[in-house]
Amino acid sequence: MPSDFSKDPDPLLDLDVDTPEDLGEEVQKTNTELEKLKRQLEDIEKQKQRLEGLKRRQDELETGRSDMLDKLTRSLVSVQREAEEAQKRLEQLNAIHNSFTQHLRGIENINPKVWGANELPRELSKALSAVEDARADYIKAQAKIAVDAPVESSAAAGGSYEPEYSTEEERGFSYWLKSGVAFTLPLWLLGLIALGVWIFSQMSTR
């Protein structure tokens, strides 16, 4: 009984070769095709890796762009608000500087020695008024300056923060008495100087 292999040969062995040399050429040709296919596969793999890398970078760009757009938008609002507050603060400090400069020049120009006896009461009233105006503006300005004064944190101080001065509710009569004397002391001194000048001028006219 004939074998089944003679009826159904292996298709891979169905080669159109006549001699062993032809078979060797076919093997070489097949190896060449395999090498070509391997190179193509490597190129395709490299292209795949390159595309995947570009996709990762594109995703990273979109994520970073979205994150920074959100942060910069919110920060711009905060920076704008801080800039407006700083501008107002600068204008306020400039106004205080101009006010202090004017008061300083006015007080420096007070010279009781040049006042005559007749003009002493009027000049004394003007001088006292100028000093009082300067004091009122000074106290008002100090309150404005102290609004944004930095407060040392407890960590930086190495312990709990304790206010250097007590609040107004804790200040008693003695504090305000001393403060009143301190506030009015320049007026008393100026008045005494003016009185001495007036007495001296009266004695000189006799």
Residue-range domain boundaries for the chain: 19-73, 110-146+171-206
User: Which stretch of 62-66, 68-72, 99-103, 168-172 has the lowest confidence by average pLDDT?
Assistant: 168-172
| 24-51 pLDDT per residue, tens | 788 888 889 999 999 999 999 999 999 9
Q: Count of residues for the chain?
A: 206
> Above 60 in pLDDT, residue 102?
yes
Q: Which residue has the higher pLDDT, 107 or 4?
A: 107
- Over residues 130-163, the pLDDT tens digits come to 899 999 999 988 888 876 555 444 344 444 444 4
Judge contact between 191 and 123, C-beta under 8 A: no
DSSP the chain: ---GGGTS--GGG----SSHHHHHHHHHHHHHHHHHHHHHHHHHHHHHHHHHHHHHHHHHHHHHHHHHHHHHHHHHHHHHHHHHHHHHHHHHHHHHHHHHHHHHHHHHT--GGG--TTTHHHHHHHHHHHHHHHHHHHHHHHHHHGGG-----HHHHTS----SS--GGG--HHHHHHHHHHHHHHHHHHHHHHHHHHHHHHHHH-
Q: Residue 66's pLDDT is what?
A: 93
pLDDT, position 23: 76
Tokens found for residue 59? 């995703």
Q: What pLDDT score does 188 carry?
A: 66
User: Has residue 70 got a pLDDT over 90?
Assistant: yes
pTM: 0.45
Which pLDDT score, from 0 to 100, does residue 114 have? 86
* C-beta of residue 116 within 8 angstroms of C-beta of residue 201: yes
Has residue 168 got a pLDDT over 60?
A: no
147 versus 172: the higher-pLDDT residue is 147
Categorize the per-residue pLDDT at 94 as very low, low, confident or very high, splitting at 50, 70 and 90. Answer: very high
List Cβ neighbours of 131 (8 Å cut-off, separation of 6 or more): 107, 110, 186, 187, 190
